[in-house]
Structure formats: structure tokens, C-alpha cells
Copies of this chain bind each other. A is one copy, B any other.
Amino acid sequence: MTNQDIKDASAELWQNSIPHISIDSVVFGFLNNQLNVLLLKIKEEENWILPGGYLQKNEGIDDAAKRILYERSGADKIFLNHFGVFGDLNRSEGYFKDYPDDLWHKQRFITIGYYALVDQTQVNPIPDHFTDCCEWKPVHPIPNMVMDHEIIIKKALSTLREHISHKPIGYNLLPEAFTLPELQGLYEAILGEKLNRGNFYRKMMRYDILIKLDEQRRGGAYKAPDLYKFDEDKYKKALGGLNW
């Protein structure tokens, strides 16, 4: 990334985006029984940063959040929910300090936080030419983050935990077909505690949002677990007001 690159980007952003507002997403994925977050690393910067972007002049904020995530991950079937706004003074100070004052990135930003749940197996992180890398990192422990991004992740996680305890979850976080032990592992990863298998089984059955498929997951050791998918209609109904 050259000095000129960033100045070009700045000019384009002033042209098309709404100033002072940014959108940052905490994107949760789930793989190998572990809860992960999608993080970026800016070139020449040692700390991690949340994937984010700006609101275009002709765009609603939910749409912007979706677009940004799509650009970054290729995922378009996304559960996205707003969970907070972060607008303290000086939250973005210090970065770009060597650049001219009219640089887009040097503005004061109020950032709108979304958390997203995606099927990690379907997502290919896409770095752009400002970012060194774009990676799934485990949620525990949270790596060193830029600015207030660690606080943002924590708030996102606590919001997610609240949702999970009285709404179903899993759609968009799991592949189309999944097993009950996998779903339980997801709950355990989010809540950070072991759950009782029998009780979990009954809880899911009571939700009445699962459809058992005719196949099993072959190839593992021991007994092949049954595969399920979500009943979209019932799932949506159970979700109530939340987006998805």
C-alpha cells in the first residue's frame, strides 16, 4: 500500500460515502468445535482489526453491513444484527497521524456494530490491498486488537449469548446438514460451558425446528450420528423479531 494508494482511496470515499460513520462487524464462525472471529491485519500494523467499511450515500445501514461483509467474505446468507454504537472521542486517534488532515480515514468515526453468524466452511476470507491478511481467529483468547475493537467483540459476544438463551441459533453458523453433537458443540462454544446432552436433546426437540434427514454423517469413528437440517419456517417463527 503506497502513500498514493491511500490518498486515492480517500478521494473515492469522500465522493461516495457518508462521513464520520463506519460499520464494523463481528463475524462469528464455527469450525472444529471452536468459535472463531473473522479478523484483519492492516499492513505495517501489528494489531488486529475488525472487518468494516463505510456507508454509501445511497444505502441503508443494514444493507451496508451486508455489502461490506459480502465483499470481505463472499457470504451472502448472513444472520446480521445490530448490537451497539461506539462513539467515544479519540477512539480512532493515532492512526494515520502522519497523513494530511483531509484524509478520509483521519476523521472522527462513530462506528455501528453488527454481529454476524456465518457458515465458516462456506466463507473464503478476502483480503484487499490494504490488508495483509484476513483470518479466522479463535474467540478465546481475543488477540490484540486495534483501538476499542476488543470491547466491541466482547459486547457482540455478550449480545450473542443473550440471544442464544431465548432464541434458536445455528442457521447460518452451521452447514446445511449437521449433527446434534455439532449443534451442541456450537452452543457450548458460545456459552463457554458444557451442556448436558440429554437435556440439550430435549430442548432442541421442544423448539421443534429440526428436520431429521435420511442420511447419517459417515466416516467418523464409531456410530454415525444422524444428520439434521433446520425447518426454515419454524426457525424463523421462533426467532421472532431478529433479522437473519
Q: Give A residues with C-beta under 8 Å from B.
A: 18-21, 55, 57-62, 82, 84-85, 87-89, 108, 110, 112, 158, 241
Contacts and interface: CB of A to CB of B under 8 A. Distances in A.
Contacts of A21: 20-21, 110
A84 B87 contact: no
Identical chains bound together, number? 2
5 contacts: A21-B21, A21-B110, A62-B87, A82-B84, A82-B85
B87 A55 contact: yes
A20 B61 CA distance: 13
B88 A61 contact: yes
A87 B82 CA distance: 12
A112 to B, nearest CB: 5
Contacts of A84: 82
Given A20-B20, A61-B110, A85 B87 contact: no
Nearest to A107: B18
A54 to B, nearest CB: 11
Which 5 residue pairs are nearest across A and B when measured between Cβ atoms? A61-B87, A60-B88, A18-B20, A60-B89, A85-B112
A241 to B, nearest CB: 8
Contact of A20 (B19, B59, B62): B19
Contacts of A112: 85, 87, 110
Nearest to A112: B85
A64 B138 CA distance: 36
A231 B60 CA distance: 44
A58 B173 CA distance: 40
A174 to B, nearest CB: 27
A89 B18 contact: no
Contact of A110 (B55, B58, B108, B241): B55
A21 B85 CA distance: 12
User: Which of A62, A85, A112, A241 has the most chain B CB atoms closer than 10 A to its own CB?
Assistant: A85
Contacts of A62: 87
Nearest to A57: B108
A55 B20 CA distance: 11
B108 A87 contact: no
